Chains A and B, each alone.
Chain A
Amino acid sequence: MNLKIFTPRGGVHPDSHKTESSETPIRHVPMPPRLIIPLIQGSQGSARTIVTVGDKVLKGQCIGEAEGADGTSIHAPTSGTVTEIGRYPMAHPSGLSSQSIVIEPDGENHWITYEPLDPTTANRDELILRIQASGIVGMGGAVFPSHLKARSKINTLVINGAECEPWMTGDDRLMRERAANIVSGAAVLAHLTGAQQTLIGIEDNKPEAIAATRTAVDDMEPVARECLGTGKMTVIVVPTRYPTGERKQLIHVLTGIEIPPSDRVTKFGIQCFNVATAHAVCRALLHGEPMVSRIVTVTGNVKRPGNYETPLGMPIADLLAFCGVKPNTTHVLMGGPMMGFTLPNLDAPVTKGCNCLIAASKELFPPPPSEQPCIRCGECVDACPVNLQPFELYWASRAKNFDGAKYHRLFDCMECGCCAYVCPAHIPLVDYFRYASSEIRARDEEQKAADQARMRFEFRSSRLEREKAEKSARLAARATETRTKSAADAALIAAAAERVNEQAQIEPSLQDNAAPLYDQQT
């Protein structure tokens, strides 16, 4: 069954470079001498350590508990000993370090006792809690906590198997080899979100993956069939185009609904999960395995490119060494060549969002030609999939005219890199946009802090004034009290003097000299 396909505007068709890594099956990697697991895996959601140094842990044992409603748990990727809890570099363009748990594997790889949940009988909250406790996050690279997405009630569930970035083949291999798990995971997610329609979108450059997924949908596991109930699941082939793998783009292609950049997809009754996330949901709920590994595409300038099932926390340098990174490698990209970034530090570990590592050499990724002036040819406007005018954004960002950048809707930009790809002047447009948006965010934060400081200062000033007023009122009250008291005393004295005077008048001969003295006192 083929549904109607829609074509959003813009987008590009870069060289795919997929075959380098897509033709070998997913391989396992040997356990490295130590694993470094950061407590924060993405931008959202953190975990709280629940182990101490010296603890023995089993594979899949929770070592960091989800913190708050947005947090996701983290688990030991293998059995071994916790040797250190400290700061280690993150796989982030900044190269900053973050709090991490270091585990020394014992080589046994002992699993915890599996505790699968039957999605057909367990209640919904329990299932969502299990997704959170299994540490499942969006595995396409955004690392958004999946339990937050699974909570929404929607009509259409989109499973994203587009994988539009060049070089990347992890999802392709996963669909070829483990399509049944993906379909089961999708069925569970459809059950949780109440979706009546499940659409699996796969780009037409992955025919094997499409065939495998179609077969898996046809021969669904009984439990998945039961989860799906009356709902329908369809595999839809979409044309190859970058960035169709972006969720709003894929939703547009599959349903024709164009979601404004400022709106959430759930507003339109749609939710989108990556195929790898669906796979992880299936492993966690139907098999009781929390997320302890992920498939990483290692490609580019390596001897054995391919997809590797890598334990989380494996240092990237170790993984690259295992794949035979060639000596003339200049730098390593994490994520795809379009949206990824250069890793500042290869000691950083593989995290849940690490979908692809590309070793770059001068031959594969020649240094970009130097930037030339923008002549506003409009190529970038044609390529932009979200209808922006990148050259206007560029002018504003470059001149540090941040209001101008906001006016031209900088925050609608998803930094897909299409504009920079087509730019005939080789302007690194996305670098300018990233600079401007992080600068605007930082300035907004500063403004917020300043407003808060002003409020607190004004409150303190008014408090001090009130205290001063209260104190002077208290003193004034005490002064009046003393005055009335002394006035009363004076009255008593006057009365006494009067009496003495009266007495003196009765006996003038005796009191003649004393009387004037009392008179003075009154």
Chain B
Amino acid sequence: MGYLFIVLSAVLVNNVVFVRILGMCPFMGTSKKLETAIGMGLATTFVLTLGSGASYLIDHYLLVPFDLTYLRALAFIVVIAAIVQLTELIIHKVSPLLYQVLGIYLPLITTNCAVLGIPLLSAELSYDLLESLLFGFGSSVGFTFALILFAGLRERMDGADVPLALRGVPIIMMTAGFMSLAFMGFAGLDRFHH
């Protein structure tokens, strides 16, 4: 039951985009079209799950035993960047089709703060390996979910009668704000936890 709550809370209650306000850069950048949003969501899910696991291993077996937890941010960045690069190389070789879908977004993930933030958080919360993996997976599903919802809205917004002063970035920021407010409603799910 605890595992389910980790996933559910990461997806909805503590949604990485709308509640934690992490990963805003790719969220704004790749939510213009539904297809790009799906591509970016998949790529992030892939990397974030792997990154959470790898970060846990580095943290648990290297940083903690040597009392180097103050180097977490640095070490995690290196590991995530390497994983992204490695994933890109492998996918490019093994599955050209998947590369077509994810290819352009993979390098972008290196600079996605959600991908660094989630391993840091799970280290903070001292999750074990499985919990870290689930937390990473749940958060990235939440990210994908937010991205797809928002892309759907933005496709509609393209054709909408937006007042001139609000066209472009302003209306997008406002919409993101409203969605963020809406996601706060999921905090009510917490009731069932206790």
Contact = CB atoms under 8 A, between A and B. Distances in A.
B156 A395 contact: yes
Nearest to A399: B159
A380 B156 CA distance: 19
Contacts of A373: 161
Interface string A396-413: 101101001000000000
Per DSSP, chain A at the interface is helix
A401 B158 contact: yes
B161 A395 contact: no
Nearest to B161: A373
A395 B157 CA distance: 10
Contacts of A399: 158-159
Interface in A352-406: 373, 395-396, 398-399, 401, 404
Interface in B159-193: 159-161
A401 B155 contact: yes
A398 B160 CA distance: 9
Contacts of B155: 401, 404
Nearest to A394: B159
Contacts of B158: 399, 401
A234 to B, nearest CB: 48
Contacts of B160: 395
B99 to A, nearest CB: 23
B161 A396 contact: no
A404 B156 CA distance: 11
A404 B158 CA distance: 11
Contacts of A401: 155, 158-159
A401 B159 CA distance: 8
Contacts of A395: 156, 159-160
A245 to B, nearest CB: 32
Contacts of A396: 159
Contacts of A398: 159
Interface string A99-128: 000000000000000000000000000000
Interface of B: 155-156, 158-161
6 shortest A-B CB distances, which residue pairs?
A399-B159, A395-B159, A399-B158, A373-B161, A398-B159, A401-B158
Given A396-B159, A398-B159, A401-B155, 8 more contacts: A373-B161, A395-B159, A395-B160, A399-B158, A399-B159, A401-B158, A401-B159, A404-B155
8 contacts: A373-B161, A395-B159, A396-B159, A398-B159, A399-B158, A399-B159, A401-B155, A401-B158
